[in-house]
Structure 1
Amino acid sequence: MKKRNLLKRTIISVLLLLAIPVSYFAISILLTFTTVNGNTAEFNNQNKTVYLSTNGVHLDIIIPKQDIDPGLLENLIHLEREEYISFGWGNENFYINTPTWGDLTFRNAFQAMFLNGPTLMHVTRYKQKSSTWIEVRLDETALKKLNHYIQRSFQRDNTGSTIILVNAGYSEHDNFYKANGGYSCLKTCNTWVNTAFKESGLKASYWTPFDFGLIRKYERSI
């Protein structure tokens, strides 16, 4: 009898543990495909363009340098011939210690998802537009809101300047800056991008930890 009760408790415990990731995934899918701000674009003068890019997992927002708020641009490293700048937000440990998916470890993934760790802004500069970027049309008002959201994500020092991590970039074309907010399974790199679009009045998912939610919404509108 004791062995039977132990087996029963073990099975229940395993099922409960499995229910957590299954529920997370199911709710994530449902909210990813629930669209907000779906009709706003019809009434706007969409004379500006930004872009979405993904490495298959992680989304970035790319803005033409001429459309980046001067107060933000003056605090970023960039060269005159670089025409586009991308912004990504994510877990500091994951960014620094996992430059490629081959470097991914269970420990880094667990810390990023569950320990609400410190975050970084990943800023990359481009000389020209890539054919893989997804175009997003928006008006001046939405662009200003998007700029403001990105600006608020940067951590500042006592002088109001962004805080750069020296020699931490992956190449000569990117840099990491200290960011505001903590990373978790409820606030991922992709929820950061999705929230940026929601707060700017752009079409977005209700909530999503995935990259494909936004990508699909804008691929279909091309």
Structure 2
Amino acid sequence: MYPALAFLLLFFSGARLPLNRQFRQTPGGVPIFVVSNGFHTDIVVPLREPRTGTDWLQQLGQPQLTAQFAHYRYAAFGWGSERFYLKSYGGRMPGVGTVLRAAGPGPTLMHVGFYPQAPQPGKRVVALQISTAEYQRLASLLQESFAPDSTGAAQLRNAAGYTSHDFFFRAQGRYHALHTCNDWTVRTLRRTGLRVPLKSPLAGPVLRQLRRSRPGAGQAPQ
């Protein structure tokens, strides 16, 4: 009973408790975005970031993607249940059985999409500017979420995702009810140093805490 009560308290109160309150945006810093579809969150970053030398097409190591998306400007990264992702093809909502099975520990995928332009800030899109040091941490954490093959390269799981502009790669970690896609976003941004909720299986609180991040005062871009 007590573990269940503790979980419920964390579930309902954790979304209101911010971590990294001291985070301030960096004027002129690296632009990133957190995008939600209402349930799930993705982290969107520049496809190439010259100040840090980050090139995601190079890091993904997929020649066909490099040829197709060389002129795109942003890449989106999300993490989640392999069962849920693969049952969502064609815009389908997975059945109750799939949702229940996803609540137990299971394999995961990284969902990678490509944007020709930056997402437009709005109800489901939060735009931020972070320092180059913060971006380097974020890029490292994103890279660590992929499950590499024996050569260290990212493993493409499917030749296509929901559209011709997104793909699935094998990921690290196990998905379950206490470690959801939004928990992955929270953990990744928390370790980067951004303001996030203590715990949020849902997308809404993630966006709300990020919106409370204040612009830096008198900070020079790093």
Residue 118 of structure 2 corresponds to residue 129 of structure 1? yes
Kindly state the Cα deviation for residue 130 of structure 1 after the two structures are TM-superposed. Answer: 2.5
| Alpha-carbon separation, structure 2, partners of 1:156 and 1:197 | 22
The equivalent of 1:32 in structure 2 is 15
RMSD, matched Cα: 2.3
Give structure 1 regions of 4+ aligned residues with deviation exceeding 6 angstroms.
none
Residue 30 of structure 2 corresponds to residue 51 of structure 1? no
| Alpha-carbon separation, structure 2, partners of 1:47 and 1:174 | 26
Structure 2 unaligned runs (5+)? 215-222
| CA pair 56-174 structure 1, distance change in 2 beyond 3 A | same
| CA pair 142-28 structure 1, distance change in 2 beyond 3 A | same
CA contact (8 A) 1:96 1:168 kept: no
More helix by share: 1
| Alpha-carbon separation, structure 2, partners of 1:141 and 1:183 | 29
What whole-Å deviation, never above 9, does each CA across 1:69-96 have from its counterpart, x for those lacking one?
6475314334122101000000001001
| Alpha-carbon separation, structure 1, partners of 2:8 and 2:89 | 25
The equivalent of 1:189 in structure 2 is 181
| Alpha-carbon separation, structure 1, partners of 2:53 and 2:100 | 36
Kindly state the Cα deviation for residue 153 of structure 1 after the two structures are TM-superposed. Answer: 0.3
Q: Work out which structure has the larger RCO, using CA pairs closer than 8 Å and 6 or more positions apart in sequence.
A: 2
The share of aligned pairs that are identical, in percent, is 27
| Alpha-carbon separation, structure 2, partners of 1:205 and 1:101 | 29
Output the TM-score relative to the length of structure 1: 0.82
The equivalent of 2:78 in structure 1 is 88
Structure 1 unaligned runs (5+)? 1-15
Kindly state the Cα deviation for residue 151 of structure 1 after the two structures are TM-superposed. Answer: 0.4
Q: Give the structure with higher Rg (CA).
A: 1
| Alpha-carbon separation, structure 2, partners of 1:69 and 1:93 | 34
Aligned residues: 202
CA contact (8 A) 1:69 1:147 kept: no
Alignment of 1:167-206 (within 5 A): 167-206=159-198
CA contact (8 A) 2:23 2:213 kept: no
